[in-house]
Amino acid sequence: MNKSRYIILILLSLFSYVIFTQILFAENNLIALKGTLYKTHQFTKKEKKDDKEIEYAYLTFMLNGSNKFFILKLNVDSVYQGFNLFTGVHKSLKYAGQIKVKIKKSDILKVRPVVYEVYADDENIYELKNKPFGNIYLFAILGFTLLVAVVLSIANLKKKREVVNIP
């Protein structure tokens, strides 16, 4: 009977993990906003990060009929072609008939949502490497929390068992 409790606890933890990750990080948590290009702006800016000065390329744009301000950011120093990469994205946006931007459902009320994908006339022109379901830190925190819950449950079961066995 005691082993079955541990197995049930482990299965419940695994089930909670799967449900939690599917609710918060599934691909279907991205929604698409569609429209035509209203305005766009492209620039570079140097920012300090860990005592280093890094140059970033920015591409900002808005869609007609939307109050969202979309910002794409690229570390120019880490890319071989640097700023030219956003030049291609900028041209694609400028000449596209319809633009589709994918953001998280939870960002729908934000004026500056995080952009995960951009499509110009159904062609993917930008994709963020870090998808919302790829957050390793949150998985680690979730795993640690489940581990603590299991350890505390086991300790609680042992205490109850000791209390019952006292003559």
Residue predicted with more confidence, 10 or 110: 110
Q: Which of 36-50, 53-67, 120-134 has the lowest mean pLDDT?
A: 120-134
For position 21, what pLDDT does the model report?
63
Q: In whole angstroms, what is the distance from residue 54 CA to residue 52 CA?
A: 6
For position 84, what pLDDT does the model report?
63
Q: Where are the domains of the chain?
A: 2-26+136-165, 30-127
pTM for this model (two decimals): 0.63
Q: In whole angstroms, what is the distance from residue 78 CA to residue 35 CA?
A: 31
Residue predicted with more confidence, 134 or 141: 141
In this structure, whether the domain defined by 30-127 belongs to CATH 1.10.1760 is answered with: no
Check whether 136 has a pLDDT greater than 70.
Answer: no
Q: pLDDT band for 131, please (50, 70, 90 cuts).
A: low
Say what percent of the chain tops pLDDT 70.
73
Check whether 33 has a pLDDT greater than 90.
Answer: yes
For position 23, what pLDDT does the model report?
59
- Residues with Cβ within 8 Å of 14's Cβ and at least 6 positions away in sequence, in order, are none
Cβ-contact 59, 42 below 8 angstroms: yes
C-alpha to C-alpha distances, 57 to 43, 50, 66, 76, 125, nearest whole angstrom: 6, 18, 24, 6, 16
Check whether 19 has a pLDDT greater than 90.
Answer: no
Residue predicted with more confidence, 36 or 155: 36
Mean pLDDT of 133-151: 68
- For the stretch 44-99, pLDDT in tens is 888 887 888 888 889 999 999 889 999 998 887 766 655 566 778 888 999 999 99
